[in-house]
Structure 1
Amino acid sequence: MKLLLLTLAALLLLSQLTPGGTQKCWNLRGRCRQRCFKKESVYVYCTNNKMCCVKPKYQPREMLRRF
């Protein structure tokens, strides 16, 4: 009986753990998160409706248009 309770407790704890890492986006340079860190910014949104947080050095530069 104690072994059964120990097994159930272990399974309950393991089910509460989140999988390691987050989904990657923007050519594997960004991460899908609810909030971005201070030095990151949002450029696009992920398929799971989270923000794709990308460091500014990996974001494309806007091209200046000359008319």
Structure 2
Amino acid sequence: MKLLLLTLAALLLLSQFSPGGTRKCWNLHGKCRQKCSRKERVFVYCTNNKMCCVKPKYQPKENPWKV
């Protein structure tokens, strides 16, 4: 039983330091990363100086009628 608790505690601790954890940005549709994937584009920058990688369908469209 002690071994099980020790294993669970170690896994919980390691999950806090895993590199896969990213911060959310752009109304929770984007993720703060050093490099975006092919299907994502940079629209804004996060507060930690990383790029906010957002899928194009969640980025606002430009207004073609505005001069």
Instruction: Spell out structure 1 runs of 4+ moving beyond 4 A.
Output: none
Q: How far off is 1:65 after superposition?
A: 3.0
Q: Based on CA coordinates, which of the two structures has the bigger radius of gyration?
A: 1
Percentage of pairs with the same residue = 70
State the TM-score, normalizing by the size of structure 2. 0.69
RMSD: 2.0
- 2:19 & 2:34 partners in 1: Cα distance? 16
| 1:1-67 equivalences in 2 (<5 Å) | 14=14, 17-18=17-18, 21-66=21-66
Structure 1 residues 66, 46: closer, same or farther in 2, change over 3 A? closer
Range with greater deviation from structure 2 (35-44 or 17-26): 17-26
Aligned length: 53
State the TM-score, normalizing by the size of structure 1. 0.69
AA aligned to 2:34 is Q
Structure 1 residues 66, 32: closer, same or farther in 2, change over 3 A? closer
Q: How far off is 1:58 after superposition?
A: 0.2
Deviations 1:11-56 (A, max 9, x none): xxx4xx4265210000000000000000100000000000000000
Task: List runs of 5+ in structure 1 lacking aligned partners.
Answer: 1-9
